[in-house]
Chains A and B, each alone.
Chain A
């Protein structure tokens, strides 16, 4: 069987599973070593301090054992020597789509990115393999002092800010994969929103893996200064191959006093991608951080967006949905640490397991001894659609202050026969009825998405539900 037909068969219903011929300008050999780390830094012409951080992170990654929790069997299958850690497909970053190499531009055309940018975005950055290939921001925002760059440009042009905040929320020693990311990071977004500026329309980043056995390690740092606000949306897809790819990002958010950051993710990697991501934000006085997190694709996702409520009156909101289909394990959740008084948090997690998929919620909610009058509410709902599937909930609540009000509830259920019967009595087929119920189940998530994403997600979920009855 040719590679093309093999890929087509494997793609199935996954609409973003095609791949283009690989036209790289720089491609590293498989495997990771200190030399690879130093070479990445040298290619990017980085300052010495960044090279040193990378090397320290690499050494930590080598020494640190794999996590002993989560899906340890699948984690042990990752062969770090069979991953390409740097692949550059374009000579530079285009600020117009005409500047982007034609094959890459075609890819993003098929994914609908330029069209979305014209209609409803304040800025767009697109990453193809290891580096950003296109970047733009609306002029009026630029005039107000909003910085929206790819991370490499951010380091070059605003070294002082990057040096101050890089790794301040997620140090390389946080976990094995944050160490890996810090060692080999490339691409990602750097955003600074000045005091009092409200970015009304969302900015978007789109991440695409095209090559086989590719590792994508983008690094994102968003700083919202006092009283400002921003909504960041990211999407991601990859081709379907018979071998696995690795995506290990680190996202750091800083919401300074009174600021508001909303970070929305629609993760739709193909089912051969390990998605091992560390995301964390720090909210200062009266700031608000929201993670709106959708996980539809990937082979194994381990992702627990976190908020550290450092300032009094700060608030965290995490809305997370996961769909675990055949061969998928979505191990997602949330972490909130109430460090200051009068802080509040809400976590809503929903998952669907189907065709042998496994959905897990894993969470940590902590109230520190000096944090008075904190409120926390966590709700986890799971649907299991067939006898092959599985769902788990692993919440942890550590409450060290007697004035805290904390609640957690979780439920696991199947789609009710009476719900299906009702909808079918109104003329819907079983598949349509199930699609509607599932879309309704995910509605608290989709209503928080920009309209185009919500419509696309509903379509996607309806497609996933086809043939799941009987």
Chain B
């Protein structure tokens, strides 16, 4: 069945559905008419490069392919079929050969165009590969759809960061990554763009020894509405996951972080934890957190989750003020430190420095 038919024959989700409670599907849809699949969806310009401008190492390539792809491991039928429909001619595959190693982070630079723009990036990471990857989206399109699917290789180590630098508009992001035996995958999200973001990020560890670290540094300012849903599945023994999601919420913006941690029966030795932290910076800002947990295995190392929401600490403000900083400088410093606690974990020094330089202007704006 082609994705158009699947989408159009599916029942549209209502707000009772956990995934769509805070951002209904019509708001994340390009036209708002959920029964429509727009024709005029353009393909963005995508460039593969290194973070410092040096030449790309051998063993990594980006290919514009229009082949069929596998189903998502834990699929959500509406977004999956919709994005399949609008990215029919915009499927790219990032291939990484086995034992590929790079000390310089690789950048997938996506420049959006037109009113509606979408792409599907498939990750095919070979076994024992070790590298860092940044996917950054830029431009001024009204609506951007991004689907990333794929699998990391056995024994691979990959730090993967997604950066949203769109100046406005709506971003619909769907991610579904499978993590096999002994693979270590770190997935960072840095978001300071788009007026509205709806993200559905799903990760499944299906091999023993799989490890996942999901990190978020989210700047929610002005009238932004940023809704991130993260599902983590432990479907194999001795798997490990951590989720640390930091959101600084200013202006009259609204940030939503929902998580689902599922430990299936048979995943003995699973070790899982989630933490959502929200810094509330203005009286009109709102932060909602729903970290859910379903555990069907009793022999776990531990499974837990937590959320914390609050304003900038007055004692810390006082301390910085006593060292000569103005209230505005103190506030900016504390916000930067809060977001940096997850940002600094996303990759090595080179990547960290690059991420800081990308975020600097937005951070200053939030502090004001």
* In the complex, per-residue mask of B285-326: 1 if CB is within 8 Å of any chain A CB, else 0: 111111111111111101111111111000000000000000
Q: Given contacts A399-B278, A407-B308, is CB(A393)–CB(B296) below 8 Å?
A: no
Count class of interface residues, chain A = 20 to 34
Measured CB to CB, the closest approach of chain B to A413, in angstroms, equals: 6
Measured CB to CB, the closest approach of chain A to B285, in angstroms, equals: 6
Q: How far is the CA of A395 from the CA of B276 in the complex (A)?
A: 12
Whether B280 sits at the interface, judged by CB under 8 Å, is yes
* Contact yes or no, A393 B305, CB < 8 A: yes
* Contact yes or no, A406 B308, CB < 8 A: yes
Whether B265 sits at the interface, judged by CB under 8 Å, is yes
Whether A99 sits at the interface, judged by CB under 8 Å, is no
Measured CB to CB, the closest approach of chain A to B368, in angstroms, equals: 16
Whether A391 sits at the interface, judged by CB under 8 Å, is yes
* Contact yes or no, B311 A403, CB < 8 A: yes
Whether B282 sits at the interface, judged by CB under 8 Å, is yes
Whether A410 sits at the interface, judged by CB under 8 Å, is yes
Within 8 A of B (CB), among A386-437: 386-387, 389-414
**A384 partner, pick from B286, B298, B307, beta carbons under 8 A:** B298
Residue of A nearest to B280 (CB): A402
Measured CB to CB, the closest approach of chain B to A113, in angstroms, equals: 38
**B292 partner, pick from A394, A405, A411, beta carbons under 8 A:** A394
Chain B residues closer than 8 Å to A406, beta-carbon distance: 307-310
Q: How far is the CA of A451 from the CA of B302 in the complex (A)?
A: 34
Q: Given contacts A69-B16, A412-B304, is CB(A386)–CB(B298) below 8 Å?
A: yes
Whether A385 sits at the interface, judged by CB under 8 Å, is yes
Chain A residues closer than 8 Å to B278, beta-carbon distance: 399
A-B contact count (CB 8 A): 111
Q: How far is the CA of A437 from the CA of B261 in the complex (A)?
A: 27
Q: How far is the CA of A407 from the CA of B304 in the complex (A)?
A: 14
Q: How far is the CA of A402 from the CA of B292 in the complex (A)?
A: 23
**A412 partner, pick from B265, B281, B295, B308, beta carbons under 8 A:** B295
Whether B283 sits at the interface, judged by CB under 8 Å, is yes
Q: How far is the CA of A389 from the CA of B298 in the complex (A)?
A: 7
* Contact yes or no, B290 A395, CB < 8 A: yes
Q: How far is the CA of A389 from the CA of B281 in the complex (A)?
A: 42
Q: How far is the CA of A410 from the CA of B287 in the complex (A)?
A: 19
* Contact yes or no, B307 A413, CB < 8 A: no
Chain B residues closer than 8 Å to A396, beta-carbon distance: 288-290
Q: How far is the CA of A402 from the CA of B253 in the complex (A)?
A: 12
* Contact yes or no, A413 B309, CB < 8 A: no
Chain B residues closer than 8 Å to A400, beta-carbon distance: 286
* Contact yes or no, A382 B306, CB < 8 A: no
* Contact yes or no, A410 B298, CB < 8 A: no
Whether A5 sits at the interface, judged by CB under 8 Å, is no
Q: A residues bordering B, Cβ < 8 Å? A: 68-69, 369, 382, 384-387, 389-414
Q: B residues bordering A, Cβ < 8 Å? A: 16, 265, 278, 280-300, 302-311
Q: A402-B282, A406-B310, A413-B302 are in contact. List 5 more A-B contacts (CB 8 A).
A: A369-B283, A397-B288, A401-B280, A404-B309, A408-B291
